[in-house]
Structures are given as C-alpha cells and as structure tokens.
Amino acid sequence: MNEAFLNVLKNEGVVSIVSWGSDEPHIVNTWNSYVNVTEDGRLLIPAAGMQSIEKDIIVNNRVKLTLGSNNVQGLRAMGTGFRIEGTASFFHDGAEFDMMKGKFPFLSRVLEITVSELKQTL
Amino acid sequence: MNEAFLNVLKNEGVVSIVSWGSDEPHIVNTWNSYVNVTEDGRLLIPAAGMQSIEKDIIVNNRVKLTLGSNNVQGLRAMGTGFRIEGTASFFHDGAEFDMMKGKFPFLSRVLEITVSELKQTL
C-alpha cells in the first residue's frame, strides 16, 4: 500500500463512497480513521446505514471512493488526495467482523472494498 | 445558510463532487476552503481540471457534493457532514470570475453550483 495513503488514514477527514445501480449514483460518507486496511490490501469499513450501497451492489458491485488530507504531503504540495476504484460487499460474521465490531461497536455489517485501482490525484 | 455548514468551510477537508452523464459517475475533489458561498447561496468553486463534470453536465447538469469536518459539532456528536444536491455550470468571465481568479490564480473556469438541497447527515 502507498505510504501517503496510509498516512491519510492517520489524519481525520471525510471519505466519500459512491455506488450506482440502475438509477442515479449515491454517496455515503465515513471517516478516514474508520478505514481499516487488511494485510492483503482490502479496505474494511464499519457500516451502520449504507443501505444505498447495499441496494446498488445488487445491480453493480463497483464503487468509487475519494479521501485525502491537507496534513499529508502530496505529489507537488502539502495536501494529498486519492481516488480508489473497487468492488464492494458486506459481511456480518467471521473473525474480521468480530475484530471490526470490537473497534466500532455501532456497526451492523462490515463493508469490504476490494481495490482494483488506487490513484493519488494530488 | 446553515451555520454548521459555514463552519465546515472554515475547517480544511476534502469535498467530493459527483457528476453523471450517460455512463458511470465521476468524482472530483476540492478543498473545503475553496468553496465560496455567494449571498444568494450559490457555491463558487475554482476549476482547473474538472473535465469530467464539464462532459457530464452536457447530458445531465445535476451534481451531488459531500463535505464535512471532524472539528465542527454535528447533530449528535463532534464531527459533522453535509450532502448537497444541485445543478452545475461553468463560467469564465464576469465580476464573480474576476473575484474568484483573484483568490485562486490557478483556475481556468469557475464551477457554479446552484443548491437544491443541503442535508446535514451527521
């Protein structure tokens, strides 16, 4: 994983997750600090609501995420941002669920993003 | 304008702007501090790239934006976020262009968002 990306996760900020099924795109948000990166590079995110993603991925499981921080050095200046493409699924049991539930007691499911592209945009 | 929203703009963070034309949605990002609110409630944002929005709005001028800050009190806890719906256009001359160019010399056009809905999500 890109080091700047991991540094962004240590600096709080808003993550946007965009999903799209058969109608218009939907956006949900989470915090940088809620994004857990697994050893094999998947992103695990606590989900309480996120019903729009759940509906959209029945039709199309692709998602796009953006996040960044003004406190992390970017490509040319201070402040960096990332655009991620991947596929989404939810799970609600298992060892990774238990680990996430321990960190985020409010979650009802875990949103798992399998990353196909991670692009530093700034 | 919502006071919490105006406070978010004073705290740096990543803004996501989603547009969608005839294919998949596209996301571009800007910074909270780059969003200028006019007296009549439009959002003016400096545009250097943002070609995806320009292409999409030929087909569909609706956009969705999200932004927030962990440093602004939200509805129930510290940290707040907003989801905005509106329509987008670009302009490249006039008094508002000159004002924006003065603040953001790197811009080539100004992205103008006419807000139809501003929803505090957190």
Instruction: Look at residue A29 in the predicted model and tell me its pLDDT.
Output: 97
- Residue B118, pLDDT above cutoff 90: yes
Q: Tell me the whole-structure pTM to 2 decimals.
A: 0.97
What is the per-residue burial (b if ≥16 Cβ within 10 Å, else e) of B62-96?
ebbbbbbbbebebeeeebbbbbbebebeeeeeeee
Per-residue three-class SS string for A49-106:
CCHHHHHHHHHCCEEEEEEEEEEEECCCCEEEEEEEEEEEEEECCCHHHHHHHHHCCC
- What the block records as the tokens of B76 is 């129930």
**Phi-psi sector, B45: left (phi>0), alpha (psi -120 to 50), beta:** beta
What is the dotted CATH code of the domain comprising A3-120? 2.30.110.10
How confident is the model over A45-50, as a mean pLDDT? 97
| Cβ atoms of residues A87 and A117 within 8 Å | no
With an 8 Å Cβ cutoff, are B20 and A25 in contact? yes
Which B-chain residues 53-82 have CB contacts (< 8 A) with chain A?
62, 64, 66-70, 79, 81
Candidate from A13, A25, A81 with C-beta closest to B18 = A25
Residues of B whose CB is below 8 A from A35: none
Indicate whether this complex's ipTM tops 0.90. yes
- Give every CB contact of residue A64 below 8 A, 6+ residues apart in sequence: A17, A18, A83, A84, A85, B25, B27
CA gap B39, A25 in Å, rounded:
29
CA gap B122, A50 in Å, rounded:
13
How confident is the model over A9-32, as a mean pLDDT? 97
Q: Tell me: the pLDDT tens digits for A56-87?
A: 999 999 999 999 999 999 999 999 999 999 99
Q: In 3-state terms, what secondary structure has residue B9?
A: helix
For chain A, what is the radius of gyration of the CA atoms? Answer: 14
Strand partners, A29: A16
For an interface test with A, which of B14, B28, B51, B87 has the most A Cβ atoms less than 10 Å from its Cβ? B14
For an interface test with A, which of B16, B22, B30, B121 has the most A Cβ atoms less than 10 Å from its Cβ? B16
| Residue B6 in contact with partner chain A when CB distance is under 8 A | no
Indicate the domain borders of chain A: 3-120
- Residue A1, pLDDT above cutoff 90: no
Residues of B whose CB is below 8 A from A50: none
Q: Tell me: the pLDDT tens digits for B83-98?
A: 999 999 999 999 999 9
Q: Tell me, what amino acid is at A79? A: G
What is the per-residue burial (b if ≥16 Cβ within 10 Å, else e) of A30-46?
bbbebbbeeeeeebbbb
